[in-house]
Amino acid sequence: MPEVRYFAGAKAAAGVDSEICNESTLAAIIESRTIEHGPKLGQILGACSFLVDGTLARELDRELPTDATIDVLPPFAGG
């Protein structure tokens, strides 16, 4: 099962550092985590980048490896 690791604002909104999910796509993870943790996390997830096993994922409906590690990276401020 995929492990989702949250960083920065996503971590604060989820209230956990990481969690194991049963979903098999990023789109399904976004939907289920929004239901589980609330609309604030859903808003943040809509703006996040996702790394799947260290590689930037651009297709939210692509099947994930069953043992994937997903890093949830909110936009970073500053410059």
CB 64 within 8 A of CB 24: yes
Which sign does the torsion angle of CA 21, 24, 25, 27 carry? negative
Q: Please, where are the H alpha helices in the chain?
A: 8-14, 26-37, 39-45
Determine if the pTM surpasses 0.85.
yes
Going from N- to C-terminal start, the domains of the chain cover: 3-73
At residue 76, the pLDDT reads 75
- Adjacency order of strands within the sheet including 3-6: 18-20, 3-6, 69-73, 49-52, 55-57
CATH class of domain segment(s) 3-73: alpha beta
pLDDT per residue, tens digit, the chain (79 aa), is: 999 999 999 999 999 999 999 999 999 999 999 999 999 999 999 999 999 999 999 999 999 999 999 999 998 765 5
CB 21 within 8 A of CB 45: no
